[in-house]
Structure 1
């Protein structure tokens, strides 16, 4: 539709069309018509993951309160990374663990970091690439935690470190302005958090390291928005990512299979005494 001057209706913030018309009585008026096109610049995937994490934490806390479950059993039933269950075939825990959180403080800091870095990475890489980076990084973080940390673990921090890893890939590929904008601050955040993870007990630093590596590899595999073609570099990186998961699962079976004869309840109590990791 065009107005009397031949102009198309104006689009305001991607949400409304302002339409100027004359009604049957000759009266001029303006009305707004809802436009359901989403604004592509809004980080909807990031917001969705934030809502999912908060929703799962609320449900988990509610179930724990109603049924009198302590934190360990809440995490157990909702899918935390628990090594002796993963080696028995519950590999889905490598995925579900990245959506669970150990207390509201853990949830708050991870949510804040996800909002900051998720919004940036989603805009720079695009929504589909963002999902792939986030999921691969989270799985890689869970995998390294499974291989090298005996303690139960949960949290989105591995995937968030993966978002920082994807920004490292961006700096490597583009440099210039991006390096001046992100470089110093990004290096400091990564370094301080990794150092803090080694000093402070109860932090799953293997998950952070795995997520950082996974995010860098995933970004290399999917490429930036202007890197649409499947190149040899991308193909090799995809094969490397798949190989990492395959070798990790194989190594975990070899490492943990000898302790599978231990009674599950006793083993869980031992893990619980070792402490929960974030």
Structure 2
């Protein structure tokens, strides 16, 4: 469910919303941080989350921080998280429901940040609130829609969720309200967007196979005593956890 096996071209075709969001993250990072174009820096100043400016009527700042990041590490980690956890949800919900969920969670995270401290001059930015909203939907599945997510993937979701939640409270420079607000937004929207959604098992093997393709014999590895499956599982879990911890150690909203 969270292991990507598609080629780059297939990924773009199967997950257009996730692909577009990642492209926006990286393009804006290049324009603002790498090339430092004047107009891009103006976008950053006009779009960064700033509660005192929202109080003055700049309500677009509840939305624009979702697409802006503080450096390459911040943009890369949020983009990696989106590539890892977004595709399955995009396929289950469909493009419209997925983007609505993503934006709604991000806006709720920014709104929570504003409502609890409307006079703050501390800037905030990043897609973390929206990504926590994705976890909110998965948590709802784990709790109430177990038919849509298997036990192994439920465990992955819970491990990452616990690590993310702990790091949210123990690390400095983290927008706690943004994370919790985004998580809550995704969780409470989940029962509405998951209505009539397709379980992962229905679509994950939907790609057709040409008759000329070489078939796979499920018994071909039974003669091997080397625990390839177990080792790959450990590597996957370890890689996910290490990357998530690395990202959560950085400055992000």
Q: TM-score range by the shorter chain?
A: 0.5 to 0.7
1:102 aligns with 2:54: no
Distance 1:64 1:43 in 2: 30
How far the C-alpha of 1:223 sits from its partner, in A, is 2.6
Alignment partner, residue 26 of structure 2: 54
Cα RMSD over matched residues?
Answer: 2.8
1:253 equivalent in structure 2: none
| Contact persistence 2:130–2:182 (CA under 8 A) | yes
Runs of 4+ deviating beyond 3 Å: 38-41, 62-67, 224-227
TM-score by length of 2: 0.67
Question: What is the alpha-carbon distance in structure 2 between the residues aligned to residue 147 and residue 131 of structure 1?
Answer: 24
Which structure has the bigger radius of gyration? 1
Matches within 5 A, 1:62-77: 64=36, 75-77=44-46
Residue 84 of structure 2: aligned partner? 116
Whole-Å Cα distance in 2 between the matches of residues 131 and 219 of structure 1?
13
Match of 2:99 among 121, 126, 131: 131
After superposition, the Cα gap between the structure-2 partners of 1:102 and 1:39, relative to the gap in structure 1 and judged at 3 Å, is closer
Which residue of the other structure, out of 111, 117, 130, is the alignment partner of 1:159? 130
Question: Aligned residue for 2:190?
Answer: 219
Unaligned runs of 5+ in 1: 1-37, 228-275
Greater relative contact order: 1 or 2 (C-alpha under 8 angstroms, separation 6 or more)? 2
Which 5+ residue runs of structure 2 have no aligned equivalent? 1-9, 199-250
Q: 1:61 to 1:142 in 2, by over 3 A?
A: same
CA displacement 1:244-271 (0-9 Å, x = unmatched)? xxxxxxxxxxxxxxxxxxxxxxxxxxxx
Residue of structure 1 in register with 2:176 after alignment: 205
Distance between the aligned counterparts of 1:111 and 1:144, measured in 2? 23
Task: Identify the structure with the greater strand proportion.
Answer: 1
Q: Determine the structure 2 residue equivalent to 1:143.
A: 111
Report the CA distance shift for 1:137/1:177 in structure 2 as closer, same or farther (over 3 A).
closer
